[in-house]
Structures are given as structure tokens and as C-alpha cells.
Chains A and B, each alone.
Chain A
Amino acid sequence: MTQVPRVECDKLCPEWPCEQPEEFRHVWVVAEVTRNGIHEASLQMLTPARKIAEKLGNKVIGVLIGYNVAGYAEDFIKHGADEVIVVDQEELESYDPYVYGQVVVDLAKKYKPEVILVAGTMRGREMAPYIANTLRAGITADCTDFDVDEKERDVLLIRPPFAAIMLAYIRTPFRRPQIGTARPAVFPTPPRDEGRKGEVIYEKVKTLKPRTTILSRTILEKRDVPIEKAQIIVSGGKGVGGPEGFKILARLADILGGVVGGSKKAADAGWIPHERQVGQTGKAVKPVLYIAAGISGAGHHMIGVREAGRIVAINIDPEARIFKQADYGVVGDYKEIILALIDELERLKKQGPEALKELLGEESRE
């Protein structure tokens, strides 16, 4: 580990307060609250929070902001928070990034947390950099892991850098709190323990006058099984070429009782919704079987499938990186091969398990 020399306060930017690290303790998880309670992604952040807190000898503290939210404090505790700070005020009925962000900033100035974790949902990604900047603290987005340098009490915020095949360990040695986000489903939700007890602290704060007004909100329907829960994922990349190609992938997914996912390029092109993107800035998935069609195998993508049981890769380029990271690779045009897979599977399905003899028997005859 590179030693990062401690720097005297007068060598740091004078516009940013010089913090005494020893005054800062405990790991915060700032909750996003939905109509049904604490967002799953926020509960997931309790997993790395617990790991960091144990190494630092700290408590895990949930921060819950909104109106009529106090009842959710119990959920935070049952999933692993030691304490919860609740700000429950009518002015906080609707989320606004700088009004909510400023509440967290004011609480952080009072309680001095050592670490703040925020789930990288869209609202979290909107609010977290505001909190960090207003505290003049560092922030690292889309972490895939966290660790701790126990001697310096620095959190290592781990993310794959530019064109990732590697991991960068980022630290913020001169500033507290240390702030990071991670995308939903990168960490598991800690199991619920009905017996867990913890303290709930109620705070009243002065809120900023909102300068935004929500004029209307249309709730979007939730579709399909989320990819992080699927056992089989048929995933497509740039090589799939467009939405038509994804219809073919969907047919294969249907037969296999699986779901469709894709690379960032596929999501950015609008061929799949962003919540179906796999990878560092998408989701980490753990299917038994991951079929990747027209995906090159960039580190940013592959970090999302490290825990896949088996990976099948179909790519037209024999040099594609994904072949070095897959179990079963086939060189060829994805469209023809997926269509042939659909045909074979339909035939097998119709003929029943007996039909396998012919397919598997070939091996022994050869």
C-alpha cells in the first residue's frame, strides 16, 4: 500500500476546513425512502457499512429523512443498524436533493461521522455529491468494494478505473467524512433479524426553503423479474446491433425461464432499460447461467458477473476479451447461433428428457 503522508493543515486548501480525523466516528448509511419504506438499495449499503464499522470499531448508524418515516427506523435496525437518526418533519414530505442534502450536511457537522455511504440510485447519485461538496469532502462513485487501512483509519473505496481490468483503491486521507456510493444489488441485503434492538435518535432541523416544486409525478409500472434475482440471464452488447436483436435474445430467455440483460453500451443506446445493465455502473448479478452475446468483455462489464455460475460467450471476433473470461465460448454471429439454440431447445422441450441421449451420446461415440 502506498503510504500517503499526512499533510499539515496550512498546506491544504484554506477554503476547506481542516478536520481533525479523530473527532470523526461511526459509519452512516443515508436512506432513500420509497412509498413502501426504506429502499432495498439503502438496506444493501448496511453490508459494507458493517464491514467498515467492524474494522474501525465503529457503530453503523442509519439516517432517515422525510415525513411520516419514523416507523421505518425499526427496519434499519432489524437489518443491521446499531442506531438510527430520524428527521421527521412535514417540510421534508417530498424529496429535493439540496434540501435533503443540506439536512445530511447539518447532521454531519453536528455528529461528525467518519464515513457516509449512500446507495447509488438515481436520487442517491443526485444527492450524494451535493452532500460531499458542501462538506468539502471527497466522494467516490460506484464502488464495488470497500476496505479499511486500520492504522490510518482510511477507508479504501474500491472501483475499477478507466477501461477496467484492474481495481483502483481510492482514499481521502485529509478529509472527513469519507463518502462513497455503490449501485443497487452490488451488495446483498443483510438478513432481517426480528430480535435486533437499537437506539432511535430524533432530530429537529431547520430546513432550507425549497426552490423547486414538483408539479406532477407519474409512477412507472415495475416490470419483470429484476436481473439480480434471475437464475438465467441472456445478455447482449453493442454487437447485437439494435432492438430487433434483443427480441431474439428475449425469445431465448423466455424458453429458459430467464431474463434479458445487457452491457452499458446496449443500455446507453436505449436497447435495454438501465436497470437491466450489468457491470460496475449497472448491477452485479449472480445467475447460474450467463449467456453473453455480442459483448466484448470489458472489465467494467465483467466485474458484474464474477459470481455467475457459468458464462457462455458468443462473439464474432475470435480475439474478443470475453473468451478469456468465459466457460464456453463460441466464435460466430450471435443471431444465427441464438436462433439455432432456440430451435434446439424447442425440439428438446417437445421431445422430453429422452431426447438428451442423442445430444449427449455424441461425446462417447466420437
Chain B
Amino acid sequence: MRIVVGIKWVPNTQAVRFDPKTGTLIRQGVPAIVNPHDFPAVELALRLRDAYGGEVIAVSMAPPPAIQGLEHVIGMGVDRAVLLTDRVFAGADTLATSYVLYHGIRRIEKEIGKVDVAVFGQETIDSSTAHIGAQVASWLGWPYVYYVKNAKLDGDRLVVTRQLEDAVEEIAVELPAVISVAMRALKPRPVTLKNKMRAKVEKPIIVWSNKDLGLDPRCVGLKGSPTIVAKVTYLPEVPRKKLVYKPKDPKDAARWILKNLFLDEKTGPLLRKVLWGDSGA
């Protein structure tokens, strides 16, 4: 089977620092990484390939540095990758992003061969919308299932297990299909030296620009995005006491906290009640 897996190249939100003096975010020099929630998706794609044969193709719409991210997943064992990159793709919201990914998948089908499954991560760390999988499925006209923890082939259907808030379901999906893999569902395999070398030497990464895809520039990037950030404001601050205490030892800390909470008109009565019931109130 041929499996496409979507990879997003995101700023490492963990590396964003806060400047307590100016009250602003320090984003300068924040490195980009592969969206961590995409690794379980890569792992599931690789397991399907290992079990049933075929190939895994990673696809990303991103600026050129994302090549590093694609090399990383090739290092994990992905067979090849496609980078969809063009200035006109910049500033895309999820509709415009899914539109480009859809045409990328269609072109993969034309140039390489029929795709059986498109696998996505549950969500990204920088926007966490979880839109892309459903949107790509809508463009392709394929069935789709979210929050997948595992998948196996059963004849010409894929049988997936997925977990929702209230139930665990086993679902058979006709192929071709889109699935999105729950975060932490599977432990991703490490990068191997052999695969890493292959990424560097064989360079199995195809780069397509909008010249190759031939999309109307009005339908991609910022222009093709129906949603617009119209305004950004600071959140009005909630008044807080902001007392900060450096205790001598843990017991001192505990006593300081409790003293304040018992004396506080908001929390004092509740604490008396939970400790001693009505006799404390």
C-alpha cells in the first residue's frame, strides 16, 4: 500500500521565552521542529508499510528549511518525501493549507501512483486546530477517522481502533481513506544512521513549487484564506494579589499559604467547611 503522511514544520513553542521585564515573548532565534504530534502518525504509517509492503511518502507544505524535518522522518524509515513550497503559499489558514496538500496528494498519485491512506497527526503544537485531516478528506472525497490509536488491514478495508471521551471504537474504513493519529498513541522509532545516510546521500525529497501544482494564486496562501486575523489585543488583566514568598523551608511555605488562605474572605470559609464540616464554619 502507498501511504502519505502529513508533516508540519512548526516553531518550537517550548523554546519561546517570556521576558518578565517587558512582558513580551522572545521569539527571536526560536528553532523550528517537526510537529511532535506527527511522530505517532509517521510510526503508524511505517508499521502499516512494514506489515503489508508498499511505501511511505511524507508530505509537507512549508518553507525550504523544512527539508531538515523531512530528512528526519526519512531517518526514521520514511521512503521518500515531497516538499510543497512557494512564496504564494505563505500565510495560509487551514482551508488554504489543506487545498495545497490535496493537490500535492493528487500530484503524487499522478507521478508516483495511487495513494491508499493519508495519515495525519492529531494536531499541531503551534495552532492545535486539528482541522487539516478532515479538510483534506473533504477535498479528496474520502472517508476519515480521527483519534486513531492503531490500524490493521482487513481485506480491502482498514480496521482502526480509536478512543473518544466516552468510548473506544473499532471501525472498518473503506480505502482510500484519511486517518488522524492520536497523540502519544504509538512510540515513534528512533532515527537510524543507515536511514539518515540515505536521506543525505540519496536525497529522496521531491520539491514542488506552485509552478508544478499550477494552482490559482487567489486560492492559496493568505489570499486563499477565508479567515483573517483582524485584531490582536492584550487580555484584560484579572486583578490578583500577586504576593510572592520565599520560604525558609517547606513547612514555613505551607504555613504561609494556609495562613493567607484562612484569613482570605474568599477561601477561609470554604477551607473551614472542608476540614471540619459545619462545626468549623
Contacts and interface: CB of A to CB of B under 8 A. Distances in A.
A44 interface: no
| Interface size bracket, A side | 35 or more
B251 A98 contact: no
B235 interface: yes
Contacts of A160: 235
A332 B250 CA distance: 8
A19 to B, nearest CB: 10
Interface in A305-336: 306, 309-312, 314, 318-319, 321, 323-333, 336
Interface string B182-211: 011000000000000000000000000000
**Which range holds the interface residue count of chain B?**
35 or more
Main secondary structure of the interface of B (DSSP, over half): mixed
Interface in B24-40: 25, 27
Given A12-B218, A341-B258, A213 B171 contact: yes
A332 B253 contact: yes
B41 interface: no
B261 A289 contact: yes
A194 interface: no
A225 interface: no
A111 interface: no
Interface stretch (B1-9, B54-62, B75-83, B161-169): B161-169
Interface in A206-240: 210-220, 222, 231-232
Contact of B25 (A15, A163, A258): A163
A321 B250 contact: no
Given A130-B138, A133-B95, A309-B267, A268 B184 contact: yes
A195 B239 CA distance: 39
A16 B219 contact: yes
Nearest to A305: B238
A363 interface: yes
Interface string A281-318: 10000001100000000010001001001111010001
Contacts of B270: 231-232, 288-289
A353 interface: yes
A123 B254 contact: no
Interface string A90-104: 000000111001000
A352 B280 CA distance: 8
Interface in B238-267: 238, 240-247, 250-251, 253-264, 266-267
B240 to A, nearest CB: 5
Nearest to A313: B244
Given A232-B274, A327-B243, A126 B146 contact: yes
Given A306-B238, A332-B247, A343-B254, A360 B262 contact: yes
For the complex of A and B, 10 pairs with smallest distance between CB atoms: A138-B226, A13-B219, A340-B254, A336-B250, A133-B138, A340-B250, A138-B227, A129-B134, A129-B131, A211-B143
16 contacts: A2-B230, A98-B137, A127-B134, A128-B134, A164-B235, A166-B235, A255-B274, A289-B271, A319-B20, A321-B20, A331-B246, A337-B250, A343-B251, A344-B251, A352-B276, A360-B263
Given A101-B138, A166-B233, A327-B242, 20 more contacts: A4-B228, A13-B218, A98-B144, A130-B135, A136-B226, A139-B94, A154-B230, A163-B16, A222-B166, A258-B274, A268-B183, A281-B128, A288-B267, A310-B241, A311-B240, A326-B242, A330-B245, A330-B246, A337-B247, A344-B254
Interface of B: 11, 13, 16, 18, 20, 23, 25, 27, 93-95, 98, 126-135, 137-139, 143-147, 159, 164-174, 177, 183-184, 216, 218-219, 223-235, 238, 240-247, 250-251, 253-264, 266-267, 270-272, 274-276, 279-280
